[in-house]
């Protein structure tokens, strides 16, 4: 999913823990494998309900999360919290996930997380496709940049990531950005 250029919007209303736990959540079972939390972390924008549950329970089976789950989790919530979840199998609620930065938005009690996700998707779809793709690529490229303070243009020999060198100019050439910039300049001239 990380190679998909379109923004991916997800919604979690139940368990994003690989599988719903058994009655005794400490009992290892093969049903706990499946990557639910890893899949959720691949979304560009993730919404959840307050009752949603997130976990990395693989430790209960004597293994660790796969599919880049440990790295993404650390990037999203920090080392200390990632260690807590990975090494203990701890489950957190949607409220905690929002407070920790694991999700983008938390719905209010009684709101449909799917309807909210559709509203977000409609908003994103209303913008320039090229700008949306460029924004996604730039943010994802920025996650892996070691020196985020150096935003100078790159020569081919200095380019660490193609995103910075190509996405902004491509977005500026889009018809949607031309209209948006023209409107902005008209307002500032008034």
Domains of the chain and CATH, by start:
9-115 (3.90.226.10), 127-189 (no CATH)
Q: The tokens 């989790």 sit on which residue?
A: 73
Sorting pLDDT into bands at 50, 70 and 90, what band is 183? low
Q: Comparing C-alpha atoms, which of 9, 1, 13 is closest to residue 125?
A: 9
What residues have CB less than 8 Å from 111, skipping those under 6 apart?
Answer: 49
What pLDDT is stored for residue 61 in this prediction? 87
Residue located via tokens 């560009």: 44
* pTM of the predicted structure, to 2 decimals: 0.72
Per cent of the chain over pLDDT 70 is 65
pLDDT, one tens digit per residue, over 158-176 is 444 444 445 445 555 566 6
Average the pLDDT over 128-137 and give the result.
Answer: 93
Which of 32-41, 64-73, 138-147 is least confident? 138-147
């Amino acid at each position: 999913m990380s190679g998909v250029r379109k923004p991916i919007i997800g919604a979690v209303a139940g368990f994003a823990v690989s599988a719903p736990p058994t009655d005794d959540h400490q009992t290892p079972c093969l049903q706990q494998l499946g990557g639910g939390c890893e899949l959720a972390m691949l979304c560009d924008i993730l919404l959840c309900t307050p009752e949603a549950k997130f976990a990395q329970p693989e430790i209960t089976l004597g293994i660790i999360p796969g599919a880049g789950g440990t790295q993404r989790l650390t990037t999203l919530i920090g080392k200390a919290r990632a260690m807590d979840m990975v090494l203990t199998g701890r489950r957190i609620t949607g409220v905690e996930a929002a407070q920790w930065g694991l999700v983008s938005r938390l719905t209010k009690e009684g709101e449909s997380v799917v309807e909210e996700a559709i509203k977000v998707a409609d908003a994103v779809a209303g913008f320039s496709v090229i700008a949306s793709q460029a924004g996604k690529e730039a943010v994802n490229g920025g996650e892996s940049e070691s020196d985020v303070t150096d935003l100078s243009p790159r020569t081919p020999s200095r380019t660490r990531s193609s995103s910075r060198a190509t996405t902004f100019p491509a977005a500026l050439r889009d018809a949607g950005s031309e209209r948006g910039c023209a409107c902005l300049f008209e307002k500032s001239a008034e």
